[in-house]
Structure 1
Amino acid sequence: MASIVIIGGGPAGLSAAIYAARANMQAVVLYQNGGALEKTEKIENYFGFEQAISGPELLARGRAQAARLGAHLVQAEVTGVEYAETGFQVHTTAGNYAADAVILATGAPRAVPKIEGVAAFEGRGVSYCAICDAFFYRGKAVAVLGNGEYALEEARVLLPVAGAVTLLTNGAEAPAVLPEGLAVDTRPVRAVAGGETVEKAEFADGGALAVSGVFLAYGTAGSAELARKLGAETEGTRVRVDERMATNVPGLFAAGDCTGGLLQVARAVADGAQAGLSAVKFVRDAK
């Protein structure tokens, strides 16, 4: 059976799963949490509910509906997506999943840490994609800013290429298990500094680490980060899609808040439905 993997378990992702499952596709929903909806106390503007409903209750109903229709829901962190021999391979903390099509629906991104110089050096030593930019740092010292599985996955990509890789946890505790060869510095980061390009990471205690590049992998990989790794077009933190919720990468779709626009449940559900139907059509046409 053809497989459609949906990354994100909010209203957009669950809606996509419902439509994919009803089309007799193997729909897999990979999610960490319910995103913004899970934190919403009361919803009064969603069609069909005479009385207000809480975000967690609406989310629970959506999950139950998707599961009843045959979708497989897996709570795990997605650390990367790459092309496979046929389709895609989605890497998670719970194993890898093969997919004929992928739908990104992780919601709007979290704020990145406010570190001086990060925005100023974007494209000049600050990167959000190790797979995209590791080549430019062959034999050079680089740093990865983050402390979760996403940051470790970025470090694994860089280790065989860069001269030295240091994980900057920005004051957080270092992961218990580290890839061989990865250095760690847990000091809070004050700034990314340099001249024309990045030259160092400066710490709050006055110290510094000489690096040619800083890769941001703070928190978990969002839709824009995953899209960039596959060559999909983005605008800032927004994934660019057409009216079918398709990206410029065949088989890759996006839905909901990660595409920008009206950040409302009704819009996310509609986007998810369209993405699900478009993914189904793509898979069927490819067979």
Structure 2
Amino acid sequence: MDDCIIIGAGPAGLTAAIYLARFHLSIRLFDSGSSRAAMIPLTRNHAGYPEGVAGKELLRLMLTQAETYGAHREERRVTAIQPDGENFRVITDDGDYHARTVLLATGVVNHRPNILPEVHDPALERGLLRYCPICDGYEVTDKRVGVIGTGDHGMREALFLRGYTRDVTLIAPEAEHMLDDACAAKLDEAGIVRVDGPCGGWGIEGDRLALDTAHGRMAFDSVYPALGSRIRSRLAVAAGARANDEGCLEVDDHQRTSIPGLFAAGDVVKGLDQISHAMGEAGVAATTIRNLLSERQPIRR
């Protein structure tokens, strides 16, 4: 039986793996290969990388560091977590495994606009399509920016980006905007243009990403989808863990879920989309896991 099974090998899962391996604990790191961090072409706001670092390179370096201390990534898709007394049974597409604790670091999935992969992926790679204004808003300073969204969520993202550029257009994803008077007033006060959808006909035209709208074809230096995300908390919720209405797992200040021995870290807890935040939570979770196991049976060399 393993001391801990980590589900997810993004920044949170890999940080936990480094900590737990250095605690001389036996761990398994299950990964289905769907970390959002791998989609980042270059992040320039992650501390310690003055010239920026690609998401895949950051994950590679973190995995190499974890492997240095004995951790090993296994390509497995976990289908269920079942409490078994004070331990856990983890069911995968390649057999069942048992552990004293489990750490869920499965993150979230961004809702994408209706754009074909042959346009989406090169646009993402070139910075024409972006998903995290906190991470890369600086890169669109004084540029022409489109935000795909509506309602309160779309308004908030457009207003956030207004801190980087005057030229922000909020485009409804489907048809007419769904904005109450308060939202509309805030957008008008900030000078943010509103355009109805639907969005379609996406294409890369020179150095811009273009799309069709109810007001005709428009092109932008960068486009931000503000369509929300799906929290990948199903495994924990099915096991009985509490989550909020959005699906984010409820944890205490030591990353403990409502199920003893089941921990969570990163965007599955709070979809902040920040690598540093996910890593910090993982460090807290890993240390708490170590102390919990030591209480059950002293950890000694």
1:14-57: CA deviations, max 9, x gaps? Answer: 10111111111112110111511001000101111121110000
Change (3 A) 1:64 1:70: same
State the partner residue of 1:227. 236
- Return the offset for 1:228: 1.2
Q: Which amino acid counterpart does residue 257 of structure 2 have in structure 1?
A: T
1:180-218: CA deviations, max 9, x gaps? Answer: xxxxxxxxxxxxxxxxxxxxxxxxxxxxxxxxxxxxxxx
Rounded to whole Å, the distance in 2 between the matches of 1:222 and 1:262 is 11
- Return the offset for 1:280: 1.2
Q: Judge conservation of contact 1:223–1:239 (CA < 8 Å) in 2.
A: no
Rounded to whole Å, the distance in 2 between the matches of 1:253 and 1:22 is 18
Q: Within 5 A, what are the aligned runs for 1:48-87?
A: 48-85=48-85, 87=87
State the partner residue of 1:177. none
Q: Judge conservation of contact 1:104–1:223 (CA < 8 Å) in 2.
A: no
Larger radius of gyration: 2
Change (3 A) 1:17 1:231: same
State the partner residue of 2:89. 89
TM-score computed with the length of structure 2 as normaliser: 0.56
Rounded to whole Å, the distance in 1 between the matches of 2:247 and 2:2 is 30
Change (3 A) 1:15 1:276: same
Q: Which amino acid counterpart does residue 264 of structure 1 have in structure 2?
A: Q
- Return the offset for 1:261: 4.6
Q: Secondary structure at the match of 1:57?
A: helix
Identity %: 33
Unaligned residue ranges in structure 2 (runs of 5+)? 113-229
Indicate the structure with greater helix content.
2
Q: Within 5 A, what are the aligned runs for 1:156-195?
A: none
Q: Judge conservation of contact 2:2–2:98 (CA < 8 Å) in 1.
A: no
State the partner residue of 2:23. 23
State the partner residue of 1:139. none
- Return the offset for 1:85: 4.8
Rounded to whole Å, the distance in 1 between the matches of 2:69 and 2:37 is 22
Q: Secondary structure at the match of 1:61?
A: helix
State the partner residue of 1:286. 296
Change (3 A) 1:222 1:33: farther
State the partner residue of 1:170. none
> Given the alignment, which residue of 254, 262, 270 partners 1:252?
262
State the partner residue of 1:271. 281
Unaligned residue ranges in structure 1 (runs of 5+)? 113-220
TM-score computed with the length of structure 1 as normaliser: 0.59
State the partner residue of 1:241. 251
Q: Within 5 A, what are the aligned runs for 1:93-242?
A: 93-109=93-109, 111=111, 223-235=232-244, 236-242=246-252
State the partner residue of 1:155. none
Q: Judge conservation of contact 1:87–1:99 (CA < 8 Å) in 2.
A: yes
Rounded to whole Å, the distance in 1 between the matches of 2:240 and 2:87 is 15
Change (3 A) 1:257 1:99: same
Q: Which amino acid counterpart does residue 87 of structure 2 have in structure 1?
A: G
Change (3 A) 1:108 1:75: same
Rounded to whole Å, the distance in 2 between the matches of 1:286 and 1:260 is 29
Number of aligned residue pairs: give it: 180
Q: Judge conservation of contact 1:104–1:253 (CA < 8 Å) in 2.
A: yes
1:140-193: CA deviations, max 9, x gaps? Answer: xxxxxxxxxxxxxxxxxxxxxxxxxxxxxxxxxxxxxxxxxxxxxxxxxxxxxx
Q: Which amino acid counterpart does residue 263 of structure 2 have in structure 1?
A: F
Rounded to whole Å, the distance in 2 between the matches of 1:17 and 1:262 is 21
Rounded to whole Å, the distance in 1 between the matches of 2:82 and 2:15 is 24
Rounded to whole Å, the distance in 2 between the matches of 1:65 and 1:27 is 15
